[in-house]
Structure 1
Amino acid sequence: MKKALYRKRICAEKEKLTPEKVFHTPQYRDLLTSIGHEITGGKLTTLRLYDDKNSGIAGWNQGETVAVNLGNQITSSFLTLELKSDSLIGILGHECGHYRYTDSALRKRYAEHMLNGSWYPKEPVPENAQEKEALDAMNVYFERKDKAILSIFLQTASYLSNLLNDMYIEEKMCALFPGSIRRGILMNRDRNVEWLPTLREMLETEKDRLSILMNLCAQYALSSRVNAWDGADYELIDTLKLLMPVIDEAGKAADDMERYLATNHILLIDDILYEGDTLHHCVNKTDTYFDRIVSKESYILFLREKENPKVPFYTLEVEPDGTIRQKRAEFNRQNKDIDKVTSFLTLWQKEIQKRLTQKDRKSTEESRKLRQQNYQEIRDKHVVVHGGAFAGELLADLLEKDLMDLPVESAENEESPTEIAA
Structure 2
Amino acid sequence: MNKRFPFVDWFRNSSPYINAHRGRTFVILIEGEAMAEGRGEQLIQDLALLHTLGVRLVVVYGIRPQVRQALRDDGITPYRHEGRWVADDTIMARVERIAAEQRLWLEARLSVGLPNTPLHGVELTAVSGNLVMAKPLGVREGIDYDRSGEVRRVRATAIQGLLDQGSLVVLPPLGFSSTGEVFDLDAAEVAQQAAVALGADKLILLGEAAGLHDASGQLQRQLTPAEATPLMERAAPGSELARHLGAACGAARHGVARTHLLSWLDHDALLGELFTRDGVGTMITQHRYEQLRAAELADVGGLLELLEPLERRGMLVARSRERLEHEIDDYVLIDRDGMVIGCAALHCFGDAEMGELACVAVHGDYRGGARGELLLAEVERRARRLGLTALFALTTHTAHWFFEHGFQLASVADLPPMKREAYNQARKSKVLIKAL
Task: Decide: shared fold, TM above 0.5.
Answer: no
Name the structure with the higher strand share.
2
Taking structure 1 as the reference length, what is the TM-score of the superposition?
0.22
Name the structure with the higher helix share.
1
